[in-house]
Structures are given as structure tokens and as C-alpha cells.
Amino acid sequence: MSETEAVSIRVLDREYTVGVGSGEVDGLMAAARLLDTRMREVRGANRMAAIDRVAVLAALNLAHELEQVKSAGEQRDRELARTLSSLQAKLDALLDA
């Protein structure tokens, strides 16, 4: 069982304490930096934008990017499966000859 530790992160100049597995601290810190960057981009010059609106828009942008990456991965998997199937058929034909 992995140990959990409390890690402090800063997002839009606000500090949050998050419990995370000891081997996942670096990933959490990278995610926090990405989220902070995206929220700052969404907020842009409008420093008065409500933090919850900024957070939702940043999360929506990140979720959209994740869906695009997943879709591209699924398409690559399908292409790879077709290629492997074609190669298997060619090998079978050579072995049967």
C-alpha cells in the first residue's frame, strides 16, 4: 500500500493542499503548473473574471484536448490492427504456399 502525503500547490495565486501518493508528487506538480497556466490564459486581461468560471473554462479546454488525444490514439490503434491483420494474412499465405 502506498503512503499518501500532503502537498501544497498554487493555482492562480491560491494555495491548495492535496493528498497524493508518494510516487505521484511530480505528476501532481506538473498538472498543477499546467492548470495554473491554462487558467491564467483563460483569465487573460480580465483580472475580475470569477474564479469558478475561469476554472470551468480551463477544465473544459483540457477535457476537450484529452478527448482529441484519446480519439487520435484510438484511430492509431485501429490502423495498427488493420496493418497487423494484413501482415498476418500475407504471412499465412506465404506459409500455405
Please provide the size of the chain in residues: 97
Is the pLDDT at 18 greater than 60? The verdict is yes
| Cα–Cα distance measured from residue 53 to residue 33, given in angstroms and rounded to the nearest whole number | 19
Q: What pLDDT does residue 45 have? A: 75
User: 32 pLDDT band (50/70/90 cuts)?
Assistant: very high
Residues 6+ apart with CB under 8 A from 93: none
Q: What pLDDT does residue 49 have? A: 87
Domain with 51, as residue range(s), is 4-96
Q: How many domains does the chain have?
A: 1
* pTM: predicted TM-score of the whole model, two decimal places: 0.76
User: How far is CA 55 from each of CA 9, 38, 40, 45, rounded to the nearest angstrom?
Assistant: 15, 9, 10, 15
pLDDT in tens, 78-97: 999 999 999 999 999 999 97
Q: What pLDDT does residue 97 have? A: 77
